[in-house]
Amino acid sequence: MINPPAQDASRKMFTHIDFQTSAPDLAHAPEDLGREIAFAGRSNAGKSSALNVLAQKKNLARISKTPGRTQMLNFFSLGNDIWRLVDLPGYGYAKVPEAIKAQWQQAMAEYLTQRQSLHGIVLIMDIRHPLTEFDWQMVDWCQQAQLELHILLTKADKLKYGAGQNTRLRVEQNLRQMGCKASVQLFSALKKSGIDEARATLYAWFNA
Ligand code: GDP
């Protein structure tokens, strides 16, 4: 249960969210100060929709989808010069050439392992296709870099309640078996469910 003052504060956290900059690599990222939380996910998993509903801004994440920015790290400031959200390039387009995949891997590994201000990752998975090979790659990097990890099983509206809960338990179990302490929740951008829980995690991480 999320207590009401924390719920209120976690809602207000996004009041002044604004696009800051896009960076092709770490060298072009904003100064490595303060605290960052990054959103990752396979292309089409629902990352943009999740970001938009969490921030209550209809087109916030559209910036990250404009031509030229899709392979970049897109930084959003929360208006206080300390807290940032980062929209990481979607991964896993089947038809992407190997060279591009390798480039993506290198940029991600560099960002996840070297960024001092990075505190945690919110990993978005389509609840119907959780823990793909790419997701495991992210889990692995998070473990190596000792980053917090929170998983949104999104499009939860596509499954019945019981099936959704079973998937959550299964994902949690699989992660535990790999020694990963990630938290896992159901989410739906369409039904706007799971928003308070996700915001509470972000708020706690920023304030940790
Ligand atoms: P991204 O590529 O990960 O940023 O994915 P998008 O946010 O663009 O979503 C991909 C597709 O999934 C779009 O057609 C969205 O409308 C749909 N989608 C995203 N979130 C949800 C959700 O919670 N429920 C349902 N049913 N569809 C969703």
Residue 53 CB–ligand 1 contact under 6 Å: no
pLDDT band at 120 (very low <50, low <70, confident <90, very high): very high
Residue 77 CB–ligand 1 contact under 6 Å: no
Pocket test for ligand 1, best of 44, 63, 134, 158 (most atoms within 8 A of CB): 44
Residue 201 CB–ligand 1 contact under 6 Å: no
CA distance 203 to 158: 28
Mean pLDDT for the chain?
Answer: 91
Pairing mode of beta strands 73-77, 18-23: antiparallel
Q: Which residue has the higher pLDDT, 38 or 99?
A: 38
Convert the pLDDT of each residue in 133-190 to its tens digit. Answer: 889 999 999 999 999 999 999 999 999 999 999 999 999 999 999 999 999 999 999 9
Distance of CA 59 from the midpoint of ligand 1 (Å): 13
| Residue closest to 86 by CA, chosen among 133, 44, 34 | 34
Residues 39 and 73 sit within 8 Å (Cβ to Cβ): no
Convert the pLDDT of each residue in 23-35 to its tens digit. Answer: 988 999 999 999 9
Residues 90 and 35 sit within 8 Å (Cβ to Cβ): no
Residue 89 CB–ligand 1 contact under 6 Å: no
- Whether the CA torsion 24, 30, 32, 38 is positive or negative: it is negative
Distance of CA 164 from the midpoint of ligand 1 (Å): 17
Q: Which residue has the higher pLDDT, 80 or 39?
A: 39
CA distance 199 to 86: 15
Residue 44 CB–ligand 1 contact under 6 Å: yes
Distance of CA 154 from the midpoint of ligand 1 (Å): 8
Q: How many CA atoms lie within 13 A of 78 on its CB side?
A: 23
- Residues near 105 by Cβ (< 8 Å), separated by ≥ 6? 137
CA distance 193 to 28: 35
Residues 126 and 155 sit within 8 Å (Cβ to Cβ): yes
Residue 47 CB–ligand 1 contact under 6 Å: yes
Task: Report the pLDDT value the prediction gives residue 14, as an integer from 0 to 100.
Answer: 86
CA distance 155 to 174: 20
